[in-house]
Structure 1
Amino acid sequence: MARDYSRTSRIADQLQRELAQLIQFEVKDPRLGMVTVSHVKVSKDLGFADVYITVLPLNGKDEAEAIVDSLKVLNNAAGFLRGELCRNVKLRVMPQLRFHFDETIERGRHLHHLIEAAIRKENQSSDNGTDEE
């Protein structure tokens, strides 16, 4: 039962909460869009923390451009964010931060569109089949 929620999972949840606050209130870069920290995955040895984010583009930017700019800003600010995390989270070793774009939202949106298209096609074929009878 104690294995269900491991130490690395608890640390990842704490880092996710802290990073969301830090990115929102401390990182002041105009290239940064609205960033949501969707998931943090911490390695077993606490050497690295992979931070997965989603980005909502601001200022009329293209989504792909906003993602690239936000990842650049966050990877450049990783040292600052890690220092702030050291002050807020009491760990002997603070993991190195690596930021990645979370593609699961986009993948889910794509699958949703495919399912909707299949349902529309099925409905159209069943409508055509009942007209012939």
Structure 2
Amino acid sequence: MAQNRFQSGHGPSQRQLRVGELIRRTLSDVLLRGDVHDPELNRHSITVGEVRTSPDLKVATAFVLPLGGHGADEALAALRRNSAELRHLVAKAMTLKYAPQLRFVLDETFDRMDDTRRLLNEDRVRRDVEHDDTDDGADDE
């Protein structure tokens, strides 16, 4: 049974999820307080949507998005430029054996949600859904 946990296709462990959420909250607090000594980074209001950690907890990938999605490239560049200082600040607030290397990626979750909403509002999709709903009702009789 223990071997199945390490095979591909399985999600993260409870420890990875717990540490990822702790890093997310800590990183959000650091960015909110403006603890980093970079005026360009502090100019952005950045949301940390999720943090995923590697199985050994040595690498943490933070999915980030600046407020309103404006200036995403500049904010991402500023985060990457200050990753060593951010790593130090996050590690100082946590009690992990190793300070995880921080990687930053733009969070595209909201874009995907908008695309899905837009798709579901198309006439042909609504027509198909309504058609399926009427078919389901006929089977009940």
What TM-score do you get using the length of structure 2 for normalisation?
0.71
Structure 1 stretches of 4+ with a deviation exceeding 3 A read 119-122
Q: Which of the residues 29, 51, 55 maps onto 2:66?
A: 55
For residue 46 of structure 1, give the secondary structure of its aligned residue in structure 2.
coil
Q: Residues of 2 paired with 1:19 and 1:77: CA distance?
A: 12
Q: Residues of 2 paired with 1:117 and 1:72: CA distance?
A: 37
Q: Residue type of the partner of 1:98?
A: R
Task: Select the structure with the greater relative contact order (CA < 8 A; seq sep ≥ 6).
Answer: 1
Which deviations, in whole Å up to 9, do the C-alpha atoms of 1:13-53 show, x marking residues without a partner?
11010000001112353464321100000001122100001
Unaligned runs of 5+ in 1: 123-133
Is contact 1:29-1:73 (8 Å) kept?
Answer: no
For residue 121 of structure 2, give the secondary structure of its aligned residue in structure 1.
helix
Q: Residue type of the partner of 1:15?
A: I
Q: Residues of 2 paired with 1:108 and 1:16: CA distance?
A: 21
Alignment-derived partner of residue 13 in structure 1 = 21
Alignment-derived partner of residue 133 in structure 2 = none
RMSD: 2.4
Between the aligned residues of both structures, percent identity stands at 25
Alignment-derived partner of residue 38 in structure 1 = 49
For residue 14 of structure 1, give the secondary structure of its aligned residue in structure 2.
helix
- Deviation of 1:121 after TM superposition, in Å, equals 7.6
Q: Residues of 1 paired with 2:63 and 2:24: CA distance?
A: 9
Unaligned runs of 5+ in 2: 6-11, 128-141
Q: Residues of 2 paired with 1:88 and 1:120: CA distance?
A: 49
Q: Which of the residues 64, 68, 71 maps onto 2:73?
A: 68
- Deviation of 1:120 after TM superposition, in Å, equals 9.4
Kindly indicate whether residue 101 of structure 2 is the aligned counterpart of residue 96 of structure 1. Answer: yes
- Deviation of 1:85 after TM superposition, in Å, equals 1.4
Alignment-derived partner of residue 8 in structure 2 = none
Q: Residue type of the partner of 1:38?
A: G
Alignment-derived partner of residue 84 in structure 2 = 79
Q: Residue type of the partner of 1:71?
A: L
What TM-score do you get using the length of structure 1 for normalisation?
0.75
